[in-house]
Amino acid sequence: MNLPNASRGGVASKRLARVLGRASALTLLSLALGCGSETPDKQHSDAGSAGSAQTPTGGKGGSAGTSTAAQGGSAGSGASGGSAGQTMQPTGGAGAGGGSSGASASGGSGGTSAGSPPVGGAGAGGSAIGGAAGTMMMGAGMGGAISMAGGAGMAGAAGTAPMNPLADLATSGHDIGLLLSNRFSKSTLSYSSVANLPGDGYKNACEWYGALGVAKLTSSTDLLNALVKKFDPMKTNFVSAMTGGDAHVDRYIYGIVPLEIFLDTGDQSYLPLGTQVADNQQTTNQTRNAIDDMFMMTSLQVQAFRGSQMQKYLDFMSAIMVDYLKDQQANGLFFHNVTEAKVHWGRGNGWFAAGMAEIMRDLPSTSKDRTTIETGYKKMMDGLVKVQGPNGLWYQVLDMGSDPANWEESSGSAMFTYAMISGVRSGILDATTYVPVIKKAWAGLLTKINAQGDVSGICEGTWYKATAAEYMALNKLTGDGHGQAPVIWAARELLR
Protein backbone atom coordinates (compact mmCIF):
# COMPACT_ATOMS: atom_id res chain seq x y z
CA MET A 1 0.00 0.00 0.00
CA ASN A 2 1.17 3.54 -0.63
CA LEU A 3 0.83 5.79 2.41
CA PRO A 4 2.19 9.34 2.17
CA ASN A 5 4.77 11.19 4.20
CA ALA A 6 5.21 9.99 7.75
CA SER A 7 3.50 6.67 7.21
CA ARG A 8 5.28 5.73 3.99
CA GLY A 9 7.73 2.87 4.16
CA GLY A 10 8.21 -0.65 5.37
CA VAL A 11 7.96 -0.02 9.09
CA ALA A 12 4.55 1.67 8.88
CA SER A 13 3.24 -0.85 6.37
CA LYS A 14 4.30 -3.76 8.53
CA ARG A 15 2.77 -2.08 11.58
CA LEU A 16 -0.55 -1.61 9.81
CA ALA A 17 -0.47 -5.20 8.61
CA ARG A 18 0.05 -6.32 12.18
CA VAL A 19 -2.88 -4.19 13.38
CA LEU A 20 -5.27 -5.53 10.75
CA GLY A 21 -3.85 -9.03 10.91
CA ARG A 22 -4.48 -9.32 14.61
CA ALA A 23 -7.96 -7.93 14.17
CA SER A 24 -8.85 -10.33 11.37
CA ALA A 25 -7.69 -13.20 13.56
CA LEU A 26 -10.17 -11.95 16.15
CA THR A 27 -7.59 -11.49 18.89
CA LEU A 28 -9.76 -8.74 20.29
CA LEU A 29 -8.42 -8.97 23.80
CA SER A 30 -4.91 -8.14 22.69
CA LEU A 31 -6.19 -5.13 20.75
CA ALA A 32 -8.46 -3.91 23.46
CA LEU A 33 -5.94 -4.99 26.63
CA GLY A 34 -21.87 6.75 5.34
CA CYS A 35 -23.12 9.91 6.67
CA GLY A 36 -26.54 11.66 6.84
CA SER A 37 -30.19 11.63 6.46
CA GLU A 38 -30.62 8.45 4.56
CA THR A 39 -32.09 9.52 1.24
CA PRO A 40 -31.05 7.45 -1.78
CA ASP A 41 -30.95 9.17 -5.17
CA LYS A 42 -34.51 8.25 -6.05
CA GLN A 43 -35.85 9.74 -2.82
CA HIS A 44 -33.56 12.77 -2.23
CA SER A 45 -35.67 13.50 0.83
CA ASP A 46 4.72 9.78 12.63
CA ALA A 47 5.55 10.28 14.56
CA GLY A 48 6.65 7.08 16.28
CA SER A 49 5.32 5.49 19.42
CA ALA A 50 5.30 7.44 22.67
CA GLY A 51 8.40 7.61 24.85
CA SER A 52 8.64 6.37 28.39
CA ALA A 53 6.40 7.78 31.09
CA GLN A 54 9.15 9.03 33.34
CA THR A 55 9.17 12.44 35.00
CA PRO A 56 11.30 14.91 32.96
CA THR A 57 14.62 15.85 34.52
CA GLY A 58 15.66 19.18 33.02
CA GLY A 59 16.35 22.44 34.83
CA LYS A 60 14.59 22.84 38.14
CA GLY A 61 12.24 25.73 38.91
CA GLY A 62 12.60 28.00 41.90
CA SER A 63 10.76 27.29 45.09
CA ALA A 64 7.25 28.62 45.53
CA GLY A 65 6.02 30.92 48.24
CA THR A 66 7.58 34.21 47.21
CA SER A 67 5.53 37.24 46.29
CA THR A 68 6.08 36.69 42.60
CA ALA A 69 6.02 33.59 40.42
CA ALA A 70 8.97 31.35 41.20
CA GLN A 71 11.51 31.21 38.44
CA GLY A 72 13.12 28.38 36.53
CA GLY A 73 15.14 30.51 34.21
CA SER A 74 12.48 33.22 33.72
CA ALA A 75 9.29 33.68 35.72
CA GLY A 76 6.59 31.20 34.84
CA SER A 77 8.58 29.06 32.44
CA GLY A 78 10.59 25.88 32.64
CA ALA A 79 14.04 25.09 31.40
CA SER A 80 14.14 23.97 27.81
CA GLY A 81 14.38 20.37 26.75
CA GLY A 82 17.40 18.47 25.51
CA SER A 83 18.89 19.25 22.17
CA ALA A 84 18.04 17.40 18.97
CA GLY A 85 19.96 14.53 17.53
CA GLN A 86 21.07 12.90 20.75
CA THR A 87 21.00 9.15 21.01
CA MET A 88 19.48 9.46 24.46
CA GLN A 89 15.92 10.66 24.90
CA PRO A 90 15.92 14.46 25.36
CA THR A 91 14.05 15.50 28.47
CA GLY A 92 11.97 18.54 29.23
CA GLY A 93 12.79 21.01 31.96
CA ALA A 94 10.88 21.13 35.21
CA GLY A 95 8.18 23.78 35.42
CA ALA A 96 8.38 26.79 37.67
CA GLY A 97 6.93 26.72 41.17
CA GLY A 98 3.63 28.38 42.00
CA GLY A 99 3.46 31.99 43.08
CA SER A 100 2.48 33.04 46.58
CA SER A 101 -0.76 34.64 45.47
CA GLY A 102 -2.26 32.20 43.06
CA ALA A 103 -0.15 32.71 39.94
CA SER A 104 0.18 29.53 37.89
CA ALA A 105 3.39 28.59 36.11
CA SER A 106 3.70 26.79 32.83
CA GLY A 107 5.47 23.50 32.34
CA GLY A 108 8.92 23.17 30.87
CA SER A 109 9.12 22.78 27.13
CA GLY A 110 9.47 19.29 25.73
CA GLY A 111 12.58 17.91 24.14
CA THR A 112 12.98 18.24 20.40
CA SER A 113 11.81 15.60 18.00
CA ALA A 114 15.11 14.43 16.57
CA GLY A 115 16.68 11.30 18.00
CA SER A 116 14.57 9.18 20.33
CA PRO A 117 11.00 10.32 21.10
CA PRO A 118 11.26 13.16 23.62
CA VAL A 119 9.71 13.14 27.03
CA GLY A 120 7.35 15.99 27.84
CA GLY A 121 8.33 18.68 30.31
CA ALA A 122 7.00 18.52 33.83
CA GLY A 123 4.07 20.74 34.69
CA ALA A 124 4.18 23.48 37.28
CA GLY A 125 2.97 23.07 40.81
CA GLY A 126 0.18 24.76 42.70
CA SER A 127 0.51 28.18 44.27
CA ALA A 128 1.18 29.00 47.92
CA ILE A 129 -2.37 30.25 48.41
CA GLY A 130 -4.58 28.04 46.29
CA GLY A 131 -3.11 28.97 42.92
CA ALA A 132 -4.13 27.04 39.82
CA ALA A 133 -2.22 23.94 38.86
CA GLY A 134 0.42 24.47 36.21
CA THR A 135 -0.22 23.82 32.55
CA MET A 136 0.95 20.72 30.75
CA MET A 137 3.40 20.70 27.86
CA MET A 138 4.06 17.74 25.59
CA GLY A 139 7.41 17.18 23.93
CA ALA A 140 7.44 17.73 20.19
CA GLY A 141 7.22 14.73 17.89
CA MET A 142 4.72 12.81 20.00
CA GLY A 143 6.82 12.61 23.12
CA GLY A 144 6.35 10.50 26.18
CA ALA A 145 3.65 10.66 28.79
CA ILE A 146 3.30 13.78 30.87
CA SER A 147 3.75 14.02 34.61
CA MET A 148 2.99 16.99 36.85
CA ALA A 149 4.89 18.04 39.97
CA GLY A 150 3.49 20.11 42.82
CA GLY A 151 4.93 23.41 44.02
CA ALA A 152 6.89 23.74 47.24
CA GLY A 153 5.01 26.74 48.68
CA MET A 154 3.05 26.36 51.87
CA ALA A 155 -0.53 25.23 51.30
CA GLY A 156 0.18 24.85 47.59
CA ALA A 157 -1.65 21.86 46.13
CA ALA A 158 0.22 19.57 43.78
CA GLY A 159 -0.61 19.87 40.11
CA THR A 160 -2.45 17.04 38.39
CA ALA A 161 -2.30 16.03 34.75
CA PRO A 162 -5.34 14.88 32.78
CA MET A 163 -3.73 11.87 31.17
CA ASN A 164 -5.15 10.42 27.96
CA PRO A 165 -6.66 7.04 28.92
CA LEU A 166 -6.86 6.08 25.23
CA ALA A 167 -3.22 6.78 24.40
CA ASP A 168 -2.55 3.11 23.63
CA LEU A 169 -4.97 3.32 20.68
CA ALA A 170 -3.17 6.26 19.06
CA THR A 171 -0.88 4.14 16.89
CA SER A 172 -3.71 2.13 15.34
CA GLY A 173 -5.75 5.34 15.05
CA HIS A 174 -2.88 6.94 13.15
CA ASP A 175 -2.48 4.01 10.75
CA ILE A 176 -6.18 3.36 10.14
CA GLY A 177 -6.89 7.08 9.79
CA LEU A 178 -4.24 7.47 7.11
CA LEU A 179 -5.24 4.27 5.33
CA LEU A 180 -8.88 5.30 4.94
CA SER A 181 -8.11 8.97 4.31
CA ASN A 182 -5.70 8.16 1.50
CA ARG A 183 -8.25 5.80 0.06
CA PHE A 184 -10.77 8.64 -0.10
CA SER A 185 -8.28 11.17 -1.52
CA LYS A 186 -7.60 8.84 -4.45
CA SER A 187 -11.24 8.05 -5.15
CA THR A 188 -13.10 9.59 -8.08
CA LEU A 189 -16.29 11.58 -7.56
CA SER A 190 -19.16 11.39 -10.03
CA TYR A 191 -19.70 15.18 -9.91
CA SER A 192 -17.59 18.34 -10.04
CA SER A 193 -20.09 20.81 -8.61
CA VAL A 194 -22.45 20.78 -5.66
CA ALA A 195 -25.15 21.89 -8.09
CA ASN A 196 -25.54 18.27 -9.19
CA LEU A 197 -24.91 16.34 -6.01
CA PRO A 198 -26.34 12.82 -5.86
CA GLY A 199 -28.87 12.18 -3.12
CA ASP A 200 -26.22 10.55 -0.92
CA GLY A 201 -23.42 12.97 -1.75
CA TYR A 202 -23.32 13.93 1.90
CA LYS A 203 -21.30 10.81 2.64
CA ASN A 204 -18.44 12.19 0.53
CA ALA A 205 -18.50 15.41 2.55
CA CYS A 206 -18.30 13.36 5.74
CA GLU A 207 -15.27 11.43 4.52
CA TRP A 208 -13.62 14.66 3.39
CA TYR A 209 -14.22 16.27 6.78
CA GLY A 210 -12.57 13.41 8.65
CA ALA A 211 -9.71 12.93 6.18
CA LEU A 212 -8.72 16.60 6.31
CA GLY A 213 -8.50 16.38 10.09
CA VAL A 214 -6.40 13.23 9.93
CA ALA A 215 -4.03 14.86 7.43
CA LYS A 216 -3.59 17.86 9.71
CA LEU A 217 -3.10 15.85 12.90
CA THR A 218 -0.55 13.51 11.29
CA SER A 219 1.31 16.36 9.53
CA SER A 220 0.70 14.59 6.21
CA THR A 221 1.25 17.52 3.87
CA ASP A 222 0.87 15.53 0.67
CA LEU A 223 -2.48 14.14 1.81
CA LEU A 224 -3.73 17.55 2.92
CA ASN A 225 -2.75 19.12 -0.40
CA ALA A 226 -4.42 16.30 -2.33
CA LEU A 227 -7.67 16.74 -0.40
CA VAL A 228 -7.69 20.49 -1.00
CA LYS A 229 -6.95 20.00 -4.70
CA LYS A 230 -9.80 17.50 -4.89
CA PHE A 231 -12.22 20.18 -3.66
CA ASP A 232 -10.97 23.10 -5.76
CA PRO A 233 -13.04 22.35 -8.92
CA MET A 234 -16.12 23.04 -6.77
CA LYS A 235 -14.75 26.22 -5.22
CA THR A 236 -15.59 28.93 -7.77
CA ASN A 237 -19.37 28.65 -7.71
CA PHE A 238 -19.76 26.74 -4.46
CA VAL A 239 -22.12 29.12 -2.66
CA SER A 240 -24.35 29.93 -5.65
CA ALA A 241 -24.53 26.27 -6.65
CA MET A 242 -25.48 25.28 -3.13
CA THR A 243 -28.00 28.00 -2.31
CA GLY A 244 -29.45 27.90 -5.81
CA GLY A 245 -30.56 24.31 -5.34
CA ASP A 246 -32.79 22.55 -2.82
CA ALA A 247 -32.48 23.92 0.71
CA HIS A 248 -31.90 20.45 2.10
CA VAL A 249 -29.75 19.22 4.99
CA ASP A 250 -28.24 16.48 2.83
CA ARG A 251 -26.85 19.10 0.45
CA TYR A 252 -25.94 21.88 2.86
CA ILE A 253 -23.71 19.65 4.94
CA TYR A 254 -21.15 20.05 2.16
CA GLY A 255 -20.30 23.40 3.72
CA ILE A 256 -18.25 21.54 6.34
CA VAL A 257 -15.59 20.79 3.71
CA PRO A 258 -14.43 24.34 2.87
CA LEU A 259 -14.72 25.23 6.55
CA GLU A 260 -12.41 22.34 7.49
CA ILE A 261 -9.99 23.36 4.73
CA PHE A 262 -9.87 26.84 6.25
CA LEU A 263 -9.34 25.46 9.76
CA ASP A 264 -6.54 23.15 8.61
CA THR A 265 -4.73 25.46 6.17
CA GLY A 266 -5.59 28.99 7.31
CA ASP A 267 -6.59 29.95 3.77
CA GLN A 268 -9.22 32.65 4.32
CA SER A 269 -10.76 32.20 0.87
CA TYR A 270 -12.49 29.00 2.03
CA LEU A 271 -14.11 30.44 5.16
CA PRO A 272 -17.01 32.38 3.55
CA LEU A 273 -17.91 29.39 1.39
CA GLY A 274 -19.01 27.57 4.50
CA THR A 275 -20.34 30.44 6.60
CA GLN A 276 -22.57 31.73 3.81
CA VAL A 277 -24.11 28.29 3.41
CA ALA A 278 -24.59 28.06 7.19
CA ASP A 279 -26.20 31.51 7.20
CA ASN A 280 -28.56 30.49 4.44
CA GLN A 281 -29.53 27.37 6.35
CA GLN A 282 -30.63 29.58 9.24
CA THR A 283 -33.10 31.39 6.98
CA THR A 284 -34.65 28.25 5.51
CA ASN A 285 -36.55 25.54 7.34
CA GLN A 286 -34.51 22.36 6.90
CA THR A 287 -35.68 20.40 9.92
CA ARG A 288 -37.60 17.19 9.17
CA ASN A 289 -37.75 15.49 12.57
CA ALA A 290 -35.45 12.77 11.27
CA ILE A 291 -32.70 12.03 13.77
CA ASP A 292 -30.23 12.12 10.88
CA ASP A 293 -30.67 15.91 10.91
CA MET A 294 -28.75 16.12 14.14
CA PHE A 295 -25.47 15.51 12.38
CA MET A 296 -26.33 17.07 9.02
CA MET A 297 -27.25 20.43 10.50
CA THR A 298 -25.09 20.33 13.61
CA SER A 299 -21.82 19.68 11.81
CA LEU A 300 -22.35 22.64 9.46
CA GLN A 301 -23.37 25.11 12.15
CA VAL A 302 -20.62 24.01 14.55
CA GLN A 303 -17.99 24.18 11.83
CA ALA A 304 -19.18 27.69 10.97
CA PHE A 305 -18.65 28.63 14.62
CA ARG A 306 -15.19 27.08 14.67
CA GLY A 307 -14.19 29.06 11.61
CA SER A 308 -15.78 32.39 12.52
CA GLN A 309 -15.99 32.22 16.33
CA MET A 310 -19.47 33.73 16.01
CA GLN A 311 -21.78 32.50 18.78
CA LYS A 312 -24.90 32.76 16.60
CA TYR A 313 -24.12 29.42 14.98
CA LEU A 314 -24.02 27.55 18.28
CA ASP A 315 -27.12 29.35 19.57
CA PHE A 316 -29.09 28.45 16.45
CA MET A 317 -28.10 24.80 16.53
CA SER A 318 -28.35 24.17 20.26
CA ALA A 319 -31.96 25.37 20.30
CA ILE A 320 -32.88 22.96 17.51
CA MET A 321 -31.09 20.08 19.20
CA VAL A 322 -32.93 20.71 22.45
CA ASP A 323 -36.19 20.43 20.52
CA TYR A 324 -35.13 17.12 18.93
CA LEU A 325 -34.07 15.78 22.34
CA LYS A 326 -37.71 15.86 23.41
CA ASP A 327 -38.12 12.61 21.45
CA GLN A 328 -35.41 10.74 23.35
CA GLN A 329 -36.82 7.53 24.77
CA ALA A 330 -36.52 6.23 28.32
CA ASN A 331 -33.71 3.88 27.25
CA GLY A 332 -31.67 6.85 26.00
CA LEU A 333 -32.12 5.93 22.34
CA PHE A 334 -34.15 7.45 19.51
CA PHE A 335 -36.62 6.21 16.93
CA HIS A 336 -35.71 7.01 13.34
CA ASN A 337 -38.92 9.00 13.40
CA VAL A 338 -41.43 9.08 16.24
CA THR A 339 -44.46 8.58 13.99
CA GLU A 340 -43.33 6.86 10.78
CA ALA A 341 -40.37 4.74 11.91
CA LYS A 342 -40.57 3.75 15.56
CA VAL A 343 -37.42 1.63 15.33
CA HIS A 344 -34.08 2.14 17.07
CA TRP A 345 -32.11 2.03 13.83
CA GLY A 346 -28.36 1.94 14.44
CA ARG A 347 -26.99 4.53 12.05
CA GLY A 348 -29.87 6.92 12.64
CA ASN A 349 -28.95 6.93 16.33
CA GLY A 350 -25.32 7.24 15.26
CA TRP A 351 -26.03 10.54 13.52
CA PHE A 352 -27.56 11.94 16.70
CA ALA A 353 -24.71 10.66 18.89
CA ALA A 354 -22.06 12.12 16.59
CA GLY A 355 -23.93 15.42 16.37
CA MET A 356 -24.07 15.77 20.14
CA ALA A 357 -20.36 14.96 20.38
CA GLU A 358 -19.63 17.69 17.83
CA ILE A 359 -21.55 20.43 19.59
CA MET A 360 -20.41 19.45 23.08
CA ARG A 361 -16.81 20.22 22.07
CA ASP A 362 -17.67 23.90 21.62
CA LEU A 363 -20.90 24.72 23.46
CA PRO A 364 -19.91 26.91 26.44
CA SER A 365 -21.02 26.19 29.98
CA THR A 366 -22.84 29.53 29.91
CA SER A 367 -25.19 28.38 27.14
CA LYS A 368 -28.77 27.97 28.31
CA ASP A 369 -28.91 24.72 26.34
CA ARG A 370 -25.68 23.15 27.64
CA THR A 371 -27.20 21.24 30.55
CA THR A 372 -30.06 19.81 28.49
CA ILE A 373 -27.78 18.62 25.70
CA GLU A 374 -25.16 17.20 28.04
CA THR A 375 -27.84 15.32 29.98
CA GLY A 376 -29.26 13.87 26.77
CA TYR A 377 -25.79 12.95 25.54
CA LYS A 378 -24.89 11.11 28.74
CA LYS A 379 -28.26 9.36 28.78
CA MET A 380 -27.72 8.13 25.23
CA MET A 381 -24.18 6.96 25.89
CA ASP A 382 -25.40 5.01 28.92
CA GLY A 383 -28.14 3.43 26.83
CA LEU A 384 -25.64 2.41 24.17
CA VAL A 385 -23.38 0.66 26.67
CA LYS A 386 -26.30 -1.58 27.58
CA VAL A 387 -26.91 -2.76 24.00
CA GLN A 388 -23.30 -3.20 22.82
CA GLY A 389 -22.81 -6.59 21.19
CA PRO A 390 -20.38 -9.27 22.41
CA ASN A 391 -17.89 -8.47 19.62
CA GLY A 392 -17.82 -4.80 20.50
CA LEU A 393 -20.12 -3.60 17.74
CA TRP A 394 -23.74 -2.47 17.78
CA TYR A 395 -26.62 -4.00 15.86
CA GLN A 396 -28.58 -2.74 12.89
CA VAL A 397 -31.58 -2.51 15.22
CA LEU A 398 -30.01 -1.56 18.50
CA ASP A 399 -32.35 -3.10 21.05
CA MET A 400 -32.98 -6.42 19.27
CA GLY A 401 -29.60 -8.09 19.44
CA SER A 402 -31.05 -11.53 20.04
CA ASP A 403 -33.07 -11.51 16.81
CA PRO A 404 -31.40 -13.98 14.41
CA ALA A 405 -32.11 -11.66 11.47
CA ASN A 406 -30.26 -8.80 13.11
CA TRP A 407 -26.60 -8.11 12.33
CA GLU A 408 -23.59 -6.11 13.51
CA GLU A 409 -23.53 -2.86 11.56
CA SER A 410 -20.29 -0.91 11.10
CA SER A 411 -21.35 2.67 10.37
CA GLY A 412 -23.49 3.14 13.47
CA SER A 413 -20.86 1.33 15.54
CA ALA A 414 -18.17 3.72 14.32
CA MET A 415 -20.34 6.74 15.09
CA PHE A 416 -20.96 5.55 18.64
CA THR A 417 -17.25 4.85 19.07
CA TYR A 418 -16.41 8.35 17.87
CA ALA A 419 -18.99 9.93 20.19
CA MET A 420 -17.63 8.03 23.19
CA ILE A 421 -13.99 8.80 22.40
CA SER A 422 -14.88 12.47 22.16
CA GLY A 423 -16.70 12.36 25.48
CA VAL A 424 -13.85 10.67 27.30
CA ARG A 425 -11.20 12.94 25.79
CA SER A 426 -13.19 16.03 26.81
CA GLY A 427 -13.80 14.72 30.33
CA ILE A 428 -17.59 14.60 29.96
CA LEU A 429 -17.76 10.81 30.11
CA ASP A 430 -16.25 8.76 32.92
CA ALA A 431 -13.12 7.04 31.65
CA THR A 432 -13.45 4.06 34.00
CA THR A 433 -16.83 3.22 32.49
CA TYR A 434 -16.28 4.08 28.84
CA VAL A 435 -12.66 3.24 28.02
CA PRO A 436 -13.32 -0.55 28.10
CA VAL A 437 -16.40 -0.03 25.91
CA ILE A 438 -14.40 2.07 23.44
CA LYS A 439 -11.51 -0.39 23.26
CA LYS A 440 -13.87 -3.27 22.64
CA ALA A 441 -15.67 -1.29 19.93
CA TRP A 442 -12.45 -0.17 18.23
CA ALA A 443 -11.16 -3.75 18.21
CA GLY A 444 -14.44 -4.89 16.67
CA LEU A 445 -14.25 -2.20 13.97
CA LEU A 446 -10.71 -3.26 13.02
CA THR A 447 -12.03 -6.70 12.11
CA LYS A 448 -14.24 -5.00 9.50
CA ILE A 449 -11.37 -3.23 7.67
CA ASN A 450 -9.28 -4.91 4.99
CA ALA A 451 -5.76 -4.02 3.85
CA GLN A 452 -7.10 -1.68 1.18
CA GLY A 453 -9.04 0.31 3.75
CA ASP A 454 -12.49 -0.99 2.79
CA VAL A 455 -14.93 -1.17 5.68
CA SER A 456 -17.50 -3.98 5.49
CA GLY A 457 -20.88 -4.51 7.15
CA ILE A 458 -22.28 -1.08 6.24
CA CYS A 459 -26.02 -0.55 5.94
CA GLU A 460 -27.12 0.90 2.63
CA GLY A 461 -28.75 4.34 2.54
CA THR A 462 -32.40 4.33 3.50
CA TRP A 463 -35.36 6.42 4.51
CA TYR A 464 -38.04 5.52 7.06
CA LYS A 465 -39.12 1.91 7.44
CA ALA A 466 -42.21 0.90 9.36
CA THR A 467 -40.81 -2.22 11.02
CA ALA A 468 -37.60 -3.52 12.53
CA ALA A 469 -37.66 -6.44 10.10
CA GLU A 470 -37.42 -4.02 7.18
CA TYR A 471 -34.30 -2.42 8.62
CA MET A 472 -32.74 -5.81 9.23
CA ALA A 473 -33.40 -6.77 5.62
CA LEU A 474 -31.44 -3.83 4.19
CA ASN A 475 -28.35 -4.63 2.15
CA LYS A 476 -24.87 -4.78 3.63
CA LEU A 477 -22.23 -2.82 1.71
CA THR A 478 -18.43 -2.75 1.67
CA GLY A 479 -16.41 0.41 1.12
CA ASP A 480 -19.42 2.72 1.24
CA GLY A 481 -18.90 6.25 2.54
CA HIS A 482 -21.61 5.87 5.18
CA GLY A 483 -19.23 3.57 7.04
CA GLN A 484 -15.86 4.83 5.81
CA ALA A 485 -16.47 8.33 7.17
CA PRO A 486 -17.20 7.58 10.84
CA VAL A 487 -14.27 5.19 11.11
CA ILE A 488 -12.09 8.13 10.00
CA TRP A 489 -13.77 10.36 12.60
CA ALA A 490 -13.02 7.85 15.33
CA ALA A 491 -9.40 7.54 14.22
CA ARG A 492 -9.07 11.33 14.06
CA GLU A 493 -10.48 11.70 17.56
CA LEU A 494 -7.91 9.25 18.91
CA LEU A 495 -5.23 11.58 17.49
CA ARG A 496 -6.70 14.91 18.59
| Cβ pair 179, 450 in contact under 8 A | no
pLDDT of amino acid 163: 84
Residues 135 and 233 in one domain: no
pLDDT of amino acid 133: 37
Q: Is 236 inside a domain boundary? A: yes
Q: Which whole number is the average pLDDT over 250-263?
A: 98
What is the C-alpha to C-alpha distance for residues 104 and 96, in angstroms, rounded to an integer? 9
| Cβ pair 453, 180 in contact under 8 A | yes
Number of domains in the chain: 2
Q: What is the largest CA-CA distance in the chain?
A: 73
pLDDT of amino acid 65: 39
pTM exceeding 0.85: no
pLDDT mean across residues, the chain:
79
- The model's pLDDT over 126-168, given as tens digits with 9 standing for 90+, comes to 333 333 333 333 333 333 333 333 434 334 344 454 689 999 9
- The model's pLDDT over 419-439, given as tens digits with 9 standing for 90+, comes to 999 999 999 999 999 999 999
Q: Of 104, 137, 163, at which residue does a domain stop?
A: 163
The residue range of the domain holding 259 is 167-495
Residues 121 and 206 in one domain: no
Residues 180 and 61 in one domain: no
Residues 135 and 238 in one domain: no
Confidence label for 103 from pLDDT (cuts 50, 70 and 90): very low
Q: Is 134 inside a domain boundary? A: yes
| Cβ pair 20, 451 in contact under 8 A | yes
Q: Is 31 inside a domain boundary? A: no
One-letter amino acid at 244 equals G
Alpha-carbon distances, residue 252 vs 213, 246, 266, 296 (angstroms)? 20, 9, 22, 8
Q: Is 27 inside a domain boundary? A: no
Residues 123 and 270 in one domain: no
What is the C-alpha to C-alpha distance for residues 239 and 355, in angstroms, rounded to an integer? 24
Q: Of 134, 163, 192, at which residue does a domain stop?
A: 163
Residues 154 and 172 in one domain: no
Is the pLDDT confidence value at 350 over 70? Answer: yes
Residue, of 435 and 59, whose pLDDT is higher: 435
- The model's pLDDT over 175-214, given as tens digits with 9 standing for 90+, comes to 999 999 999 999 999 999 999 999 999 999 999 999 999 9
- The model's pLDDT over 320-348, given as tens digits with 9 standing for 90+, comes to 999 999 999 999 999 999 999 999 999 99
Residues 214 and 117 in one domain: no
- The model's pLDDT over 394-415, given as tens digits with 9 standing for 90+, comes to 999 999 999 999 999 999 999 9
